[in-house]
Amino acid sequence: MPGIRGPSDYSQEPPRHPSLKINSKEPFNSEPPRSALVSSYVTPVDMFYKRNHGPIPIVDDIESYRVSITGLLPKSIMLSMDDIKKLPKYNVTATLQCAGNRRTAMSKKRTVKGVGWDVSAIGNAIWGGAKLADVIELAGICKNTTSTSLGGKHVEFVSVDMCKEENGGPYKASIPLRHATNPEADVLLAYEMNGEILNRDHGYPLRGIVPGIIGARSVKWLDSINIIAEECQGFFMQRDYKMFPPSVDWDNIIWSTRRPQMDFPVQCAICSLEDEAIASQDKIKISGYAASGGGRGIERVDISVDGGKTWLEASRHQKRDAPYIADDINSDKWAWVLFEAQVDVPKNAEIIAKAVDTAANVQPETVEEIWNLRGILNTSWHRVHLRHMLQSGHSSL
């Protein structure tokens, strides 16, 4: 692994923004306050959630850094950062979401295992880099290939970080070859985030970005990219990030019965209010994010202040100031939508938000129907309980 290494302890971690909420220190897992997410359409790098499984790798010498493309292909190659930067550069605005986003709320219904995330294990960034389809082509595999002549059907990303789940080995994950070689899928080998060189926390010098797919498949600190016959057999593909039904518990789980989760489903959350927020007015502004996976944009976001009896449609409020790669300049194919609504709130209301994507998929009403032992993909209607403060001229308890 020339030029890059994964340290065995946490003594050389990068500096982080003090307002991040730390969910675990070693490995470092943190999310910004909810309100930070709705203050800009493109999430600032220092306010972007950080999800790690080991100490942050160190690049000793960027000149000697190489990523290898190897496995079941006509010729293996080693590429320097200069080689990657010679390929056409694309800027893709894409939302990255950890499958564990909103796990804490799922845990309140019935205990689940995993890092406790509120609603901010998600962010929207402009990722700059080469298309994976172009990189793989350098190794002799054409665009839109399902299988190589040697039987390669999956593309495995391998990192250098040392993860205890992999017994000290590196983090890895794979995507199907047909996805990796499809230029329309916009899978990137990214070296920039929001126009800046990727920082260490987010994968310097090179990471995969797989738009529309759970964050776990966007592998950071790339060391090698392997063309393999079967999907990656690593821990995070085979024994984690799989969606089980509510009937499966730790004493009856059979990991091989479920496929690794790829697309994320339609999701939204209110970010302008903490849960159990105190309201001092009857009219309030609600804002938040909505996103869906697989290239499905957001059709609408509905808001209710009466427990779901009646709904009003929120409006989109992001500025279209970010470059989009999709054909339609107004497309939110890979990116979230920020929404807002002005509502009159009854006393001690429960405010609910639910999103609908362009395939008319709707978020499920309750956590119970999607509960799963790993606490992934909590996409139930997002609820915030408001309590009213006693104030003259305003409604009161």
List contacts with ligand MTE (CB under 6 A): 48-53, 96, 98, 159, 161, 171, 202, 215-216, 218-221
Closest approach, Cβ 192 to ligand MTE, in A, equals: 13
Closest approach, Cβ 164 to ligand MTE, in A, equals: 11
Q: Is 270 exposed, middle or buried (0-12, 13-18, 19+ CB in 10 A)?
A: buried
CA dist., res. 173 & res. 286, Å (int): 37
CA dist., res. 340 & res. 363, Å (int): 18
Cis-peptide into 27, omega within 30 deg: yes
Contacts of 33 (CB under 8 A, 6+ apart): 19, 21, 120
Radius of gyration of the chain (CA): 21
165 vs 274 by CB, closer to ligand MTE: 165
96 vs 187 by CB, closer to ligand MTE: 96
CA dist 356 to 87, 234, 293, 303, 326, Å? 37, 33, 12, 12, 20
50 vs 296 by CB, closer to ligand MTE: 50
14 vs 307 by CB, closer to ligand MTE: 14
4 vs 373 by CB, closer to ligand MTE: 4
**Going by DSSP bridges, is the β-strand pair 154-158/350-357 parallel, antiparallel, or unpaired?**
unpaired
Closest approach, Cβ 48 to ligand MTE, in A, equals: 6
Closest approach, Cβ 202 to ligand MTE, in A, equals: 4
221 vs 334 by CB, closer to ligand MTE: 221
72 vs 96 by CB, closer to ligand MTE: 96
Closest approach, Cβ 163 to ligand MTE, in A, equals: 7
* 121-126-128 Cα angle (round to 5): 120
50 vs 333 by CB, closer to ligand MTE: 50
CA dist 397 to 279, 306, 350, Å? 11, 17, 14
CA dist., res. 333 & res. 292, Å (int): 8
Look up residue 56 and give its amino acid.
I
Contact in structure between 354 and 381 (CB atoms under 8 Å): yes
Contacts of 83 (CB under 8 A, 6+ apart): 138
216 vs 349 by CB, closer to ligand MTE: 216
Closest approach, Cβ 333 to ligand MTE, in A, equals: 20
Closest approach, Cβ 122 to ligand MTE, in A, equals: 9
- Specify the residue for token string 């700059």: 128
Number of separate helices (H) and strands (E) present in the chain? 6, 24
Closest approach, Cβ 28 to ligand MTE, in A, equals: 9
Closest approach, Cβ 190 to ligand MTE, in A, equals: 10
Q: Which residue is nearest to ligand MTE (CB)?
A: 215
